[in-house]
């Protein structure tokens, strides 16, 4: 296949995983899918009822900012939530620093295009491993990615960038708490990045979609870090958040971008011409979701119970991260993570996400190799059953057979896991 810009872009990790698993005979067991990202907890009933109430307005358009940037009442509610959640003391940060979006992914993609300003040159600095949308959006905007690992000293870190590189950075993406390992960014790192942003003029884009899922004290975010570091106007700072994980509303995309006034002005123009209209039911229902914290507390209790139980299930067979944030287990597996995922699916019917599909190889090292991501999105019984199946699979007495790929040799699996494989282009069937 002839290489073009479009078929050179990252194929989504879920699509690549399904392509790998399609080479395996269908397991004769019920599938337990830990590779998903969408939460399966029920959304708040009062939000669903509000959505239904305004469903007849779907046929009606909203002109102006209400349609493309969000109704003022919604932006006001998001502002109030953000100010309280992040203890923002700034007098200049108002609802006019907020724009509503159709979920977090749209917000991230739009923000990167806006910040690149059509110059098609410079760098986008990315965490590694991370959601592939950051790189893909950056490359479409013409930015060259620089990967900075948050997991291992074998990979470049923010402090390894040269002065010449910093001078050409246009966007730096922070993901805290992080997908996949649930780690939060240390305060000293926040302060270093804000200092670099001020010195070199690049923008920090903070993806905080997981910051409402925690087992203890909520993690800090860019709003409070900027506010406490003499940047009350949020200059060169953009925050992304949504209701997908906070309120279990993956099927009703609703999120926001928060940033300085100049960015918000550009975002309104971009979204208007891009036709990114926000349906009225989404906005009305989202307002109620942002106003209520009780359902978030209950949601966190459910995740906390599963995370408390998980170490008992994993025991020493599958060492898991002890994260205080997010809904993912980040687990080290014996041998190759891709072979492990394929084998697990074929033998147990359990789907996990190989770390290699989330990380990028730099300096001949992929920081996520040998790891798998497990989303604890199912009810406790299903989560426990799936983890038990994986542990049984890696029991030492079975290990000699465990790490043999089920349907294809390891090298073939690797070929089909990466982008240079011409048999796995964009649009591959699930």
The model's pLDDT over 297-316, given as tens digits with 9 standing for 90+, comes to 999 999 999 999 887 778 77
Query: Could you tell me how many residues make up the chain?
Result: 430
Phi, psi for 19 (deg, rounded to 5): -65, -45
Same domain, 179 and 259: yes
Peptide bond into 91 cis (omega under 30): no
**Is residue 347 within 8 Å of residue 386, measured between CB atoms?**
no
Q: Which helix (H) or strand (E) holds 148?
A: strand 144-149
Same domain for 362 and 284, yes or no, is no
Q: Which of residues 239, 262, 291 is at a domain's end? A: 291
* pLDDT interval class at 413 (50, 70, 90): very low
In this structure, the answer to whether residues 147 and 278 fall within a common structural domain is yes
Q: How many CB atoms lie within 10 A of CB 119?
A: 10
Domain span at residue 79?
45-291
The single-letter DSSP state of residue 219 is: P
Measure the CA–CA gap between 233 and 259, rounded to whole angstroms. Answer: 8
For residues 235 and 325, membership in a common domain is answered with no
Boundary residue ending a domain (291, 313, 344) = 291
Same domain, 64 and 185: yes
Residues 6+ positions from 163 with CB-CB distance below 8 Å: none
DSSP sequence for 320-368: B---SBSSEEEEE-SS-HHHHHHHHHHHH-EE-EEGGGTS--BTTB-TT
102 with 167, same domain: the answer is yes
Domain membership of residue 331 (yes or no) is yes
Would you place residue 64 in the very low, low, confident or very high pLDDT band (cuts 50, 70, 90)? low
Residues 96 and 60 in one domain: yes
Among 251, 267, 291, give the residue marking a domain's end. 291
Does some domain include residue 424?
no
Q: Based on the domain organization, do 299 and 356 belong to the same domain?
A: yes
Once rounded to an integer, what is the mean pLDDT over residues 221-240?
Answer: 94
Reference 132, options 426, 314, 358; nearest CA is 358
CA distance linking residue 175 with residue 38, whole number of Å: 17
Predicted pLDDT of residue 406: 36
Render pLDDT for 322-349 as a digit per residue (tens, 0 to 9): 789 999 999 999 989 999 999 999 999 9
Mean pLDDT to the nearest integer, 20-26:
88
User: For the ranges 47-56, 58-67, 89-98, 177-186, which has the lowest average pLDDT?
Assistant: 58-67
Residue range 373-403, pLDDT digits in tens:
999 999 999 999 999 999 989 875 434 343 4
What is the pTM for the complete model shown?
0.90
Looking at the fold, whether 283 and 312 belong to one and the same domain comes out as no
Q: Quick one: pLDDT at residue 283?
A: 93
Continuous segment of H or E residues that includes residue 384: helix 380-393
Tell me the Ramachandran region of residue 153: left when phi exceeds 0, alpha when psi lies from -120 to 50, beta otherwise.
alpha
- Give residue for tokens 């989303």: 375
- Render the burial of 139-151: b for 16+ CB within 10 Å, e for the rest: bbbebebbbbbbb
The pLDDT value given to residue 60 = 74
Share of the chain above pLDDT 90, in %: 66
For residue 71, which of 294, 385, 282, 259 has the smallest C-alpha distance?
Answer: 282
């Amino acid at each position: 296949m002839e290489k073009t810009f479009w078929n050179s872009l990252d194929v989504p990790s879920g699509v690549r995983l399904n392509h790998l698993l399609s080479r395996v005979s269908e397991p004769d067991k019920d599938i337990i899918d830990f590779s998903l990202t969408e939460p399966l907890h029920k959304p708040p009933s009062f939000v669903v009822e509000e959505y239904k109430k305004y469903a007849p307005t779907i046929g009606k358009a909203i002109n102006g900012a209400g349609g493309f940037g969000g109704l003022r009442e919604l932006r006001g509610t998001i502002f109030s939530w953000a100010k309280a959640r992040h203890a923002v003391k700034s007098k200049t940060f108002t609802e006019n620093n907020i724009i509503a979006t159709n979920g977090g992914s749209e917000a991230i993609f739009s923000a990167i295009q806006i910040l690149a300003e059509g110059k098609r040159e410079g760098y986008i600095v990315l965490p590694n491993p991370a959601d592939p949308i950051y790189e893909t959006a950056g490359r479409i905007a013409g930015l060259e990615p620089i990967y900075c690992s948050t997991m291992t000293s074998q990979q470049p870190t923010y402090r390894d960038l040269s002065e010449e590189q910093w001078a050409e950075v246009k966007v730096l993406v922070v993901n805290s708490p992080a997908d996949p390992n649930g780690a939060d960014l240390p305060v000293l790192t926040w302060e270093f990045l804000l200092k670099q942003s001020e010195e070199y003029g690049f923008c920090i884009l903070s993806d905080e979609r997981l910051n409402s899922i925690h087992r203890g004290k909520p993690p800090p975010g860019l709003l409070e870090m900027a506010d406490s570091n003499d940047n009350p106007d949020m200059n060169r700072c953009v925050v992304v958040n949504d209701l997908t994980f906070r309120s279990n509303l993956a099927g009703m995309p609703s999120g926001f971008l928060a940033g300085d006034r100049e960015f918000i002005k550009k975002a309104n123009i971009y979204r208007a011409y891009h036709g990114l209209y926000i349906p009225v039911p989404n906005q009305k229902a989202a307002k109620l979701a942002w106003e209520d914290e009780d359902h978030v507390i209950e949601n966190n209790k459910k995740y906390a119970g599963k995370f408390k139980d998980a170490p008992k299930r994993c025991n020493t067979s599958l060492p898991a991260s002890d994260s205080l944030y997010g809904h993912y287990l980040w687990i080290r597996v014996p041998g190759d993570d891709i072979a492990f995922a394929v084998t697990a699916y074929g033998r147990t019917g359990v789907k996990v996400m190989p770390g290699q599909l989330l990380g990028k190889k730099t300096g001949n090292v992929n920081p996520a190799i040998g790891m798998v991501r497990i989303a604890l999105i199912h009810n406790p019984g299903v989560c426990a059953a799936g983890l038990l199946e994986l542990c049984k699979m890696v029991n030492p007495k079975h290990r000699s057979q465990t790490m043999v790929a089920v349907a294809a040799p390891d090298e073939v699996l690797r070929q089909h896991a990466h982008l240079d494989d011409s048999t796995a282009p964009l649009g591959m069937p699930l």
